[in-house]
Structure 1
Amino acid sequence: MTRDSDFKRVVRGRMAETGEGYTAARAALEREAYDAARTEQERLVARLFSGGRIERVPAKRKVRAAVLLEVVSRFEPGRDYSEKEVNEVLLGVHEDFAYLRRELVNYHYLERADGRYRTAPHAPTRSPLERQEIPAWEAHWLEGFLSGR
């Protein structure tokens, strides 16, 4: 059970409104949050991708993070990649593959060690300031993706 009292209050409000049990009300709210986050993600990246490629790298951090979430989905979770393999994947997205590679590492979507890259084993812990600059989709999607689900 969640310890977040604000979320519990929202769940109980839904229970009173709909007559659902706690588990059903919580699941419905989580589904709504997932759907809203996915819609926001699609909105953020739809105008930037054409034919699977980024037309321009966005300057705003939230939009850039949304683009990076789309880019990281082109990597196989748990697999080691050489720098050359990473560059090949990223060239399919944008000609400035070095910038994208650095940003994927900076946002903790890829990890680099001994000249090898791999997707992070779990979603990064974000500070409150960082969470303001990250699209909601990350919290709903990234952990499952990184664990191979």
Structure 2
Amino acid sequence: MAGQELVGGRWTGGTVQFMSDAGPEALVGLLAEESRLKVVSAIVLGATSEPDIVTLTDLEPKTVRKALERLIRGGIVETAGTGGLRVVTERFKEAAQHAAANRPQARPEELGATADQAQVLRNYLVDGKLSHIPAARSKRLVVLDFLAGQLEPGRVYPEEQVNYLLGRFHPDYAALRRYLVEEELVERREGFYWRTGGTFEVGAPAE
């Protein structure tokens, strides 16, 4: 930790060479060691100096000092203007964004879409969820056909279960449910729903 000095239990002066990797692996690595995790927890709970951290964690001063050096160098902890300490919450946000950006995207086919449906769904499915409901009826019908496929033919569903199944793909499950009924892909009666249309898989005839 270049140029940093511990004065009266507070870190002052100089600059710090931070780690540039804000990915989740680096963050987990920094917090994998128990003493560093305890130090971060103590700062979150209000500790602003090394003596405060020692009191809250019962760690040895040299252990706290070593953990602080590593955490400050890693960019998880920084010194405030008064020489106190604070957790850099932005690092956690960056790690979450990094993980989301690099998460493998589920392909429509992996969610049960047919090849024809997948050609349209690729424009609307993001990480297994609909980014929005298509305004164009032709596109919306493809999406609805796929959603109707989430219901087993011949099975009757209570409205709560239909809401759950549709809500996995978009928060406005009421609109999706209404579209399914209007397009006669699903029929509704007295709070119960069953599939009446859409693309059905036809198995090979028994020999």
Same-fold call, TM cutoff 0.5: yes
Supply the distance in 1 between the matched residues of 2:147 and 2:190 (Cα, whole angstroms). 22
Counterpart code for 1:62: S
Alignment of 1:1-149 (within 5 A): 39-120=115-196, 123=197, 142=199, 144-145=200-201, 149=203
Cα deviation for residue 84 of structure 1 reads: 0.4
Counterpart code for 2:175: Y
Counterpart code for 2:186: L
CA RMSD of aligned residues (A): 1.7
| Structure having the higher Rg | 2
State the 4+ residue runs in structure 1 displaced beyond 6 angstroms: none
Cα deviation for residue 75 of structure 1 reads: 1.1
3-state SS of paired residue (2:188): strand
3-state SS of paired residue (1:63): helix
Counterpart code for 2:173: F
Supply the distance in 2 between the matched residues of 1:117 and 1:71 (Cα, whole angstroms). 13
Supply the distance in 1 between the matched residues of 2:138 and 2:149 (Cα, whole angstroms). 17
Cα deviation for residue 51 of structure 1 reads: 2.1
Cα deviation for residue 117 of structure 1 reads: 0.2
Cα deviation for residue 102 of structure 1 reads: 0.2
Supply the distance in 1 between the matched residues of 2:181 and 2:188 (Cα, whole angstroms). 7
Highest RCO, 1 vs 2 (Cα 8 Å, sep ≥ 6): 1
> What is the TM-score of this pair, normalised by structure 2?
0.41
Counterpart code for 1:117: Y
* Identity across matched positions, percent: 32
Cα deviation for residue 42 of structure 1 reads: 2.1
Counterpart code for 1:87: N
Cα deviation for residue 43 of structure 1 reads: 1.7
Q: Which runs of no fewer than 5 residues in structure 1 stay unpaired?
A: 1-37, 124-137
Supply the distance in 2 between the matched residues of 1:82 and 1:39 (Cα, whole angstroms). 30
Supply the distance in 2 between the matched residues of 1:84 and 1:70 (Cα, whole angstroms). 19
Q: Which runs of no fewer than 5 residues in structure 2 stay unpaired?
A: 1-113
